[in-house]
Amino acid sequence: MIKDLQPPSFQPHQIVYLTCDQSRLYTEVIEILVDRQLAWVRPLVLVTPTETLPLAASSVLGLPDPQGWPDRPTTPDLLWPLDQFCPALDTDFVTLLATLADRPDQWLSASHSVRVSQFTRRLWEKVAGASQPNQASTDRI
């Protein structure tokens, strides 16, 4: 019996996240590209075991941009496979916002884009590695 796989039903403005190792990248859904099974998302916060990095001056985060630009992202938007996202629980994200509000010195920085790039590269390598067959098993065929 073939299981009917339904894509996650995310909506624009919903907060979702990607996980890699012990880090999470929280994003806001911009659009779901159903035909391609991709999500267009805007990175909001990168949470690692050692730090929490705000990535957008947005009404979602309630953070001001030091140069006065409302809703200015410091990292590029992402197109990512839809099935890799998890919905963020309201309680988790509100706690995260409270953490950011307690640290007003944590300004947005273009250098945070490098950290997001490293995160997405690691995640992509993990996903690509998991989808490739084991070399030893193909040698036996």
Cβ count within 10 A of residue 30: 14
**What are the sequence ranges of the domains in the chain?**
15-119
Q: What is the pTM of this model?
A: 0.75
Torsion from C-alpha of 11, 15, 18, 55, nearest 10 degrees: 130
At 64 the pLDDT is 52
Helix, strand or coil, per DSSP, at residue 62? coil
Nearest CA to 42 out of 67, 20, 25 is that of: 25
Check: CB of residue 83 under 8 Å from CB of residue 7: yes
At 38 the pLDDT is 94
For residue 127, what is the enclosing H or E element?
A: helix 112-131
Q: Between residues 140 and 56, which one has the greater pLDDT?
A: 56
Both tokens assigned to 16 = 């979702």
Helix, strand or coil, per DSSP, at residue 78? strand
Classify strands 86-87 and 15-20 as parallel, antiparallel or unpaired: antiparallel
pLDDT digits (tens, 9 = 90+) for 11-61: 998 999 999 999 999 999 999 999 999 999 999 889 999 888 888 755 555
pLDDT digits (tens, 9 = 90+) for 83-121: 999 999 988 888 888 777 666 555 556 677 788 888 999
